[in-house]
Structure 1
Amino acid sequence: MSIRHLDRLLSPASVAVFGASARPGSVGATVWRNLRAGAFSGPVYGVNPKHATLDGVPVYARASQLPAAPDLALICTPPHTVAALIGELGALGTRAVVIVTAGLSAEQKQAALDAARANTVRLLGPNCIGLLNPHIGLNASFAHCDALAGDIAFVSQSGALATAVLDWTRSRGVGLSHLVSLGDHCDVDFGDLLDHLANDARTRSILLYVEAIESPRKFMSAARAAARNKPVIVVKAGRAGNGVKAAASHTGALAGSDTVYDAAIRRAGMLRVDTLQELFLAAETLARFRTNRSTELTVMTNGGGAGVMAADAAARAGIALAEPGAALLARLDAVLPANWSHANPIDIIGDAPVERYAETLSALLAEPGTGAVLFVHAPTAIVRSEDIARACLPLVRSHASRVMSAWLGDAAVAQARKLFEDAGVADYATPEEAVHAFAMLQTYRRNQEVLTETPDASRNPLPDAAAALGLLESALAEGREWLHEHEAKALLKAYGIDTVPTIAVADSADAAVAAARELGYPVALKILSRDITHKSDVGGVRLALADDAALRDAVGTMRDAVAAARPGARIDGFTVQPTVHRPHAQEVIVGASIDSVFGPVILCGQGGTAVEVVADTAIALPPLNRALAGELVSRTRVSRLLAGYRDHPPARLDALHDVLVAVSQMLADLPQLAELDINPLWVDEHGALALDARIRLSKTPVGGAERFAILPYPTQWVRTQQWNGRSIVVRPIRPEDEAQHRRFIESLDPQDIRMRVFHSRNELPRSELARLTQIDYDREMAFIAETRDANGAAETLGVARTVSDPDHVEAEFAIIVRSDLKGQGLGTLLFDRLIEHARHRGIERLVGLVLRENTRMLELSRAMGFEADPAEPADSGQRRMVRNLADEKPPPWRLADRGR
């Protein structure tokens, strides 16, 4: 639903337990005991008509007898009672309910939701263990123990995993800010909790145990927003047995559900791990070591074996060990014995005294080229580990973001380990664990970069969407599920993808020869059949036919071979195309299919007939731009071949990226497109060329922009308008606009910036510029007014922006116009567009915070139908301007129900 009333759920001031009991082993008794045993300071009410008191505390027979409406109610009563209780509680004023009860039927779940909807009561569960907030002493669960207070939030679809994590964290002294069991999540889900926890000051990192996602766009919007603020780490169950079924296209066979989850997690800037142990390992690393930007590692150890183990782990994980420079080697020679390793790992020898540790560590940290330093120590009888740690403390305190440690052993190194941990150093049980954590950090950083990387503009021409739709409608009207090859290539050409010229002919050798003479020999001949998709599997492809005789022979033998392999297949004819000679070309596959959860997905990898066997593919969620397309390609092994080798020059990767961008646009424009294979797509120094393509259609729309898990660029809002006697374009902002947006901000008068954002900086860091241009169109909009300067370059004249809450109830607006254009009506034009868009998106209320001295914006907003919120304190330096768009209702302070 939304984030509304989640504060009542996660941080309530009072709690009531329905079904509170004294019966040993019952859920009601356990929940009651946990609440009473904790440090929760608010009122805790028991409700059960069978008890007058519990533990000496009065128990109430029904909700109406409670002294006050509780913020949070926990329901542990039979399934048939749940919906009525929720309705009664909502009427009393309760806004959050945990349905601990299991066994609700689909009808009972729907009845509970219907009862909750009238008063926007938030429901957690059913069939969940509840939730914990250790910071307020709240244990609203039937878990077996309480949690320590900390800064990690854990949200789980599995109650059993939640209790296991609770036990694991408590035994290791790991503190939690929240633990939430979703259960069957009929209302509150991952998206809601990510939105709430992203802004929770006590939560530094968010851990998720995911089995399935049911609201993909909501989840992706919330995850992308949360991952910009703090680490989000995911264990996704179900890598094995992921339900991948046989598919007619290569892409459909390769794009299994688990690989799509991988793509979604990566695209959102989160980190996926495989085990609960890795979940907390990653959380610890990101909490203590996230600011480290190193890509190389230096291992310092007092034992050669431990160093070798670390080096082996680095090699397996693809982590480079830093090469010591001449200056560093000379400095180390001065402090280490002659038989030290003289290489990385830096083996300082097992008899090292305290001073040697401190001097070596100092030398390594003084040299930026050493990257991250992994300090590995095995205990010896020569010197106490605690003394070594104390001697190194001044260094590690000032360089905690560069040092990782692995104190090997248990009791002998316990105090040393604690000293390093208290100094902020990320510590690990073994060198291999430390290297694995460092590798996870690299993966996390790459995923974060995907969130903010600025793309180049694609060179793709505007697609001929009308021609493309005509092809699809014609095939569907004939009852065909698959486009013929020449039709598929025509569709690609409509989206600017180069293809080999292809002529479709009837089942006739004379017709094939006539087409070959038109195209020029040598040619390729392929079978044309609506029943055959993989033509080479049935002898339906012949290449390099040099003349009429060879072609005529190929027609006859192909017809016989196909008839033998597929006796019932309908033969519609043949296609003829010229044989293309590009000796340096790599075979690539680019494909698309529809995932059952995340909608349209795009695939890229090494192509050819053995694509499933080679298994060199990567998956991404659309929409794609050039940067995202480049990231997708970089995750394939074929990308190394495309980079060039021996006599093969580097391929034009930009051409491949543009093909991927074109396919992304195709998926947005064509809801009937169900599967697509471009295989092979030849990519070389000349560009990209599609040799073959297969496209499957669906009469019932399965794709299109509305099925994207991430809302694509809304082209429908691009408009050319007249303003002040000139033609301008008003359009949504794009990630590619970053440089243009920087120039716009730098052109503004500092005083105008202060009026807009309450500070006068007109030099923004790259991360903030990325945040302003790479927006989530499902929750935000930024319209820019754009024209061309004297040199033909695009320039921004003004920007109008809204950011809505996840509920789409309220959106905050902001408008800024270039300083030399104020007072010419551009602000009014942009304001009109914002209001139109907000209405279209179903926003109920537009608000803006305007400095009281900004009289121009106050006057403009009043002229646009906004009113000043009278509740704003008179001594406030700003006014809150509000306009209700939902049927133009009165402002909220005039509503009878102020709590709406």
Structure 2
Amino acid sequence: MSVRNLEHLFAPRSVAVIGASLTPRSVGATVLRNVLAAGFKGPVYPVNPKYDTLCGLRTYPDAAALPEAPDLAIICTPAATVPRIVRQLGEAGTRAAIILSAGLDDDKQRDAHGRTLKQAALDAARPYVLRLLGPNCVGLLVPGIGLNASFAHADALPGRIAFVSQSGGMVTAVLDWARSRGIGFSKFISLGESADVDFGDLLDYLASDADTSAILLYMEDVRHARKFMSAARAAARSKPVLVLKAGRMPEGARAAASHTGALAGADDVYDAAIRRAGMLRVLTTEDMFSAVETLAHARTRGGDRLAIMTNGGGPGVMAADALGAAGGTLPALSAATLASLDAVLPPTWSRANPVDIIGDAPVQRYLDTLRVLLADPDNDAVLFIHAPTAIVPSAEIARAVAPMAKGASRNVLGCWLGGDAVAEARRIFSAEGIPSYDTPEEAVNAFMQIAQYRRNQDLLMQVPPALRVNDEGGRAIAAGVVRAVLAEGRTILTEPEAKRVLDAYGIPVVQTRTAADVEAAVKEAEAIGYPVAVKILSPDITHKSDVGGVALDLDSGEAVRSAATRMLHRLAELKPGARLDGLTVQSMARRPQAHELIVGVATDPVFGPVILFGQGGVAVEVTADHAVGLPPLNAVLARDMVSRTRVARLLAGYRNRPPADIDAIVRVLMQVSQLAADIPELAELDINPLLADSDGVIALDARIRVALADQSASSLDRLAIRPYPAELEEQVAWNGETLTLRPIRPEDGPAHLEFFGALTPDDVRYRMFVRVRELQPSQLARFTQIDYDREMAFIATRPLPGGGEQTIGVARVVADPDNIQAEFAVTVRSDLKGHGLGRVLMEKLIAYCRARGTREIVGEALPQNTRVIKLVRKLGFAVTPNPAEDSVHLSLPLD
């Protein structure tokens, strides 16, 4: 739903325990005991008709008998009673409830209307916007206010980490694990079955929670992909979000009509979604909390190049091995760095990375070496490894090195090997905010977490345009082919049809012709020119090579005739019932140095279309070298997909084999991404092999499966991430000029800074309600990197004489997730006021909200902002003074 009324869940003033009890080991008794023992300051109301008092508190027979509507109700009663209790609470005015009861989704227990008890509870809550956590959950804990609304076996320590789990078992296990290590929480939440409150709602709430500095998720599945991705992307912009996703091991390839459908497993897709949202995936509970600590102190500099300094060769080698295994880079030392280190280290030093400064190193040698490595532009971080010696106490080294490490512009990670001898040194580093680890492997793992997190944050900033990589004519051709196939009752396109679709989107394909029989194949081969390849054309054969249905390098008519005859005989023997539509003949692509790649599309049941790239060929499922990404893609995202495969190293060139044309591969990925967005009927696509070499790319074979699409929804609704809405761009005449009105894009950042700089201090205060001298990077990102599914910012731009655009006005609106109310703001460059630009922007904004079905536009203005107040009055807004807030409320009903 949204964040509406979640404040009653996390900051209630009163709590009711429905089903409270004295029965030993019952949920009702445990919850009441936990609520009272945790120190909650507000009234607590036990509810159970069997008791007059419980734990010294007056007890009420039912929710309707309570003296006031509790802010939060905890329901611990049998499943059949829950819908009635929810309705009573809603009628009384309660706005949040935790349903601990299980069994509400049992098909055998339905109400008089045939609904499951879960649906009946949701229907009972909806008229009152009563938010439900659960059912079948452990509850929640908010240590900062002494709230333990759970049946967990232990309380949580206070802290600044929010933990959200779908698994009740993980809730209690992590709670116990964290208490033993002194780790505290701002919120500790068990989601249960997420009938109402889900990951998306909680991410939205926790993103703006001042008590939370990091968010940890234990995830088993996501049900509303668009909502989850929007919320996750917003939260990850403001604080670290880490995900421990269950179910990493594949359960076996799915039945699919393509390699892509089999390879793009659910875990790969979740991995792609987590990466695209700017979150970090970890593999263990310990990694999760370790990463929180690491990221809390990490510098913004990314990259995977690590310089290692050590006072012992063995630990340095261990760190280098761990780095290589994790896919990091051990950069070579430049000549300048070698010379600088030669000047401060003894002749026996390693003269390579890892930098072994020798076990007898005094304090000054540590300082000199670290200073040189921090000045080296070829590394992104320095790992400091120390094993205790009798020469210099470890604590003395730590005290000397910590100020330099703390003040460095890049990350310095410490690794203090040993126990008591280095305990003080480790404490000194930790006190200065320098992350320290017990082993080289732990330190390298932490470094790679930083590198991956920064990469994911970079991907988060990408908002790909929905710009056509082909013209509308090409799109119409592809859509026409698909419609014709579906009209015939088919779901699999023939190879020529599939290649026609790819060609329409500008993807190079090898020339292919269709032949009805063997002799026709010979004629087509002569027309194309030898050598040729011949393949069977059958809707019943998924992989032609499995039945000997492919013949290559045929250089004469007789060779074509012989090969075609043999493959038809084999087909009849191996697949006697298979339909045969004829043969295809295509020119042989003679590219001896080309790499075989696969590019494809699969449809995930949760996240919709996903793009796959990797090493191709007949053994594609065996090599399993692939990367998965969510559309829409731009060049940065497509290049990242390529870089995450092993074949990327081969594509970079080696020995006498030149590099492949990566730009051409990237274009194909973007074109396929556009195809997936444009054609809602596209279910699966394989381009395998896509040959790639230094001269470009060409698709040798293609397979496409289609299915009827939901005509009631927009084709873009299938995508987990909404692309840049190019369809909202328009040209308008204003004040003798032609302006462009369009949604804002991330690349508008520099122009937006210039726009902000052109505002007077009063105009800034009118917009932001406080005086702000300059925009911080985080504020600029928030203004320009928006999620088009839940907010919109239209900017007015005009061309600059030397090229580029100048931003001269912006109108912004943010809707609640239910699209009931949207809050607006409008700002015009200070020196251009009074010419009607604000009205142009507001009319654009109002039309957009009407088209989306928004019910009301609202806003707040300072009373001194008379221009905006006058403008919105003319547009039909109601203007209501709000003296308590020293502001004016503005509202425009749209329904």
Shared fold (TM-score greater than 0.5)?
yes
**Other-structure match for 2:819:** 808
What is the distance in 1 between the residues matched to 2:340 and 2:584?
Answer: 71
Shift of the 422–493 alpha-carbon distance from structure 1 to 2, 3 Å rule, reads: same
Match of 1:483 among 479, 484, 493: 493
Deviation at 1:191, TM superposition (A): 0.6
> What are the ranges of 5 or more consecutive residues in structure 1 without an aligned counterpart?
888-900
**Other-structure match for 2:514:** 504
1:105 and 2:105 aligned: yes
1:651 and 2:660 aligned: yes
1:443 and 2:443 aligned: no
**Other-structure match for 1:376:** 385
What is the distance in 2 between the residues matched to 1:357 and 1:468?
Answer: 65
Match of 1:131 among 134, 140, 158: 140
1:174 and 2:174 aligned: no
1:492 and 2:502 aligned: yes
Question: What's the secondary structure of 2:882's corresponding residue?
Answer: coil
C-alpha RMSD of matched pairs (Å)? 3.2
Question: What's the secondary structure of 1:191's corresponding residue?
Answer: helix
Shift of the 784–863 alpha-carbon distance from structure 1 to 2, 3 Å rule, reads: same
**Other-structure match for 1:474:** 484
**Other-structure match for 2:869:** 858
Instruction: Pick which of 485-494 and 97-106 moved more.
Output: 97-106
What is the distance in 2 between the residues matched to 1:520 and 1:806?
Answer: 60
Deviation at 1:275, TM superposition (A): 1.0
Question: What's the secondary structure of 2:59's corresponding residue?
Answer: strand
Shift of the 327–774 alpha-carbon distance from structure 1 to 2, 3 Å rule, reads: closer
What is the distance in 2 between the residues matched to 1:356 and 1:604?
Answer: 48
- Mapping 1:279-428, distance limit 5 Å: 279-293=288-302, 295-321=304-330, 323=332, 339-350=348-359, 371-380=380-389, 384-399=393-408, 402-428=411-437
Could you tell me which amino acid in structure 1 is paired with residue 859 of structure 2? Answer: G
Deviation at 1:772, TM superposition (A): 4.2
Shift of the 641–393 alpha-carbon distance from structure 1 to 2, 3 Å rule, reads: closer
Instruction: Pick which of 380-389 and 301-310 moved more.
Output: 380-389
Contact 1:455 1:736 (8 Å CA) reproduced: no
Aligned length in residues: 883
Instruction: Pick which of 406-415 and 786-795 moved more.
Output: 786-795
Shift of the 732–444 alpha-carbon distance from structure 1 to 2, 3 Å rule, reads: same
Question: What's the secondary structure of 1:870's corresponding residue?
Answer: strand
- Residues 656-715 of structure 1: CA distance to partner in whole angstroms, max 9, x if unpaired? 222222222222222211111111222233333222211111135599321111123435
What is the distance in 2 between the residues matched to 1:829 and 1:721?
Answer: 9
Deviation at 1:258, TM superposition (A): 0.7
**Other-structure match for 1:546:** 555
What is the distance in 1 between the residues matched to 2:535 and 2:421?
Answer: 73
What is the distance in 2 between the residues matched to 1:335 and 1:786?
Answer: 56
What is the distance in 1 between the residues matched to 2:584 and 2:797?
Answer: 47
Shift of the 6–531 alpha-carbon distance from structure 1 to 2, 3 Å rule, reads: same
Deviation at 1:385, TM superposition (A): 4.3
- Residues 49-103 of structure 1: CA distance to partner in whole angstroms, max 9, x if unpaired? 2222223232222223333221111111111221111111111121111111222
Question: What's the secondary structure of 1:374's corresponding residue?
Answer: strand
Contact 2:394 2:421 (8 Å CA) reproduced: yes
Question: What's the secondary structure of 1:320's corresponding residue?
Answer: coil
**Other-structure match for 2:113:** none
What is the distance in 2 between the residues matched to 1:493 and 1:737?
Answer: 33
- Mapping 1:631-646, distance limit 5 Å: 631-646=640-655
1:707 and 2:718 aligned: yes
**Other-structure match for 2:263:** 254
1:867 and 2:875 aligned: no
1:61 and 2:61 aligned: yes
Shift of the 12–635 alpha-carbon distance from structure 1 to 2, 3 Å rule, reads: same
> What are the ranges of 5 or more consecutive residues in structure 2 without an aligned counterpart?
107-115
Could you tell me which amino acid in structure 1 is paired with residue 582 of structure 2? Answer: G
Contact 1:288 1:401 (8 Å CA) reproduced: no
Deviation at 1:447, TM superposition (A): 0.7
What is the distance in 1 between the residues matched to 2:636 and 2:577?
Answer: 46
What is the distance in 2 between the residues matched to 1:752 and 1:57?
Answer: 56
**Other-structure match for 2:688:** 679
**Other-structure match for 1:779:** 790
- Residues 389-435 of structure 1: CA distance to partner in whole angstroms, max 9, x if unpaired? 44545445545963322333344443443332222121222221111
Question: What's the secondary structure of 2:789's corresponding residue?
Answer: coil
- Mapping 1:472-621, distance limit 5 Å: 472-509=482-519, 511-621=520-630
Shift of the 352–763 alpha-carbon distance from structure 1 to 2, 3 Å rule, reads: closer
**Other-structure match for 2:110:** none
**Other-structure match for 1:892:** none
Instruction: Pick which of 477-486 and 372-381 moved more.
Output: 372-381
What is the distance in 2 between the residues matched to 1:658 and 1:371?
Answer: 30
Match of 1:717 among 723, 728, 742: 728
What is the distance in 2 between the residues matched to 1:576 and 1:638?
Answer: 29
Deviation at 1:117, TM superposition (A): 0.9
What is the distance in 1 between the residues matched to 2:530 and 2:392?
Answer: 82
What is the distance in 2 between the residues matched to 1:23 and 1:387?
Answer: 59
What is the distance in 1 between the residues matched to 2:406 and 2:629?
Answer: 41
Deviation at 1:635, TM superposition (A): 1.2
Instruction: Pick which of 296-305 and 533-542 moved more.
Output: 296-305
Shift of the 423–734 alpha-carbon distance from structure 1 to 2, 3 Å rule, reads: closer
- Residues 167-220 of structure 1: CA distance to partner in whole angstroms, max 9, x if unpaired? 111111112111100111111111110000011111111110001111111111
Match of 2:235 among 191, 212, 226: 226
Could you tell me which amino acid in structure 1 is paired with residue 664 of structure 2? Answer: A
Question: What's the secondary structure of 2:492's corresponding residue?
Answer: coil
Shift of the 650–864 alpha-carbon distance from structure 1 to 2, 3 Å rule, reads: farther
Shift of the 287–470 alpha-carbon distance from structure 1 to 2, 3 Å rule, reads: same
> What percentage of aligned pairs have identical amino acids?
58
Instruction: Pick which of 49-58 and 157-166 moved more.
Output: 49-58
Contact 1:463 1:494 (8 Å CA) reproduced: no
- Residues 800-836 of structure 1: CA distance to partner in whole angstroms, max 9, x if unpaired? 3322233323222234456786555554343233222
Contact 1:322 1:370 (8 Å CA) reproduced: yes
Instruction: Pick which of 855-864 and 338-347 moved more.
Output: 338-347
Deviation at 1:113, TM superposition (A): 0.8
What is the distance in 1 between the residues matched to 2:858 and 2:466?
Answer: 34
**Other-structure match for 1:14:** 14
What is the distance in 1 between the residues matched to 2:638 and 2:303?
Answer: 25
**Other-structure match for 1:3:** 3
What is the distance in 2 between the residues matched to 1:216 and 1:64?
Answer: 38
Shift of the 336–593 alpha-carbon distance from structure 1 to 2, 3 Å rule, reads: closer
Question: What's the secondary structure of 1:846's corresponding residue?
Answer: strand
- How high is the TM-score relative to the length of structure 1? 0.90
What is the distance in 2 between the residues matched to 1:762 and 1:572?
Answer: 71
1:244 and 2:250 aligned: no
Contact 2:743 2:795 (8 Å CA) reproduced: yes
Instruction: Pick which of 259-268 and 561-570 moved more.
Output: 561-570
Contact 1:849 1:881 (8 Å CA) reproduced: yes
Instruction: Pick which of 440-449 and 281-290 moved more.
Output: 281-290
What is the distance in 1 between the residues matched to 2:642 and 2:758?
Answer: 37
Deviation at 1:492, TM superposition (A): 1.3
**Other-structure match for 2:109:** none
What is the distance in 1 between the residues matched to 2:411 and 2:122?
Answer: 50
What is the distance in 1 between the residues matched to 2:292 and 2:485?
Answer: 52
- Residues 19-54 of structure 1: CA distance to partner in whole angstroms, max 9, x if unpaired? 222222111111111111113222222222222222
Instruction: Pick which of 734-743 and 848-857 moved more.
Output: 734-743
Deviation at 1:775, TM superposition (A): 2.6
Contact 1:458 1:661 (8 Å CA) reproduced: no
Question: What's the secondary structure of 2:154's corresponding residue?
Answer: coil
Contact 1:401 1:425 (8 Å CA) reproduced: no
Shift of the 45–627 alpha-carbon distance from structure 1 to 2, 3 Å rule, reads: same
Deviation at 1:770, TM superposition (A): 5.2
What is the distance in 2 between the residues matched to 1:499 and 1:234?
Answer: 41
Question: What's the secondary structure of 1:869's corresponding residue?
Answer: strand
**Other-structure match for 2:94:** 94
Deviation at 1:489, TM superposition (A): 1.2
- Mapping 1:743-892, distance limit 5 Å: 771-784=782-795, 798-816=809-827, 825-873=836-884, 876=886, 879-885=888-894, 887=895
**Other-structure match for 1:212:** 221
What is the distance in 1 between the residues matched to 2:807 and 2:390?
Answer: 70
- Residues 116-164 of structure 1: CA distance to partner in whole angstroms, max 9, x if unpaired? 1121111111111111111112111111111111111110011111111
Instruction: Pick which of 740-749 and 710-719 moved more.
Output: 740-749
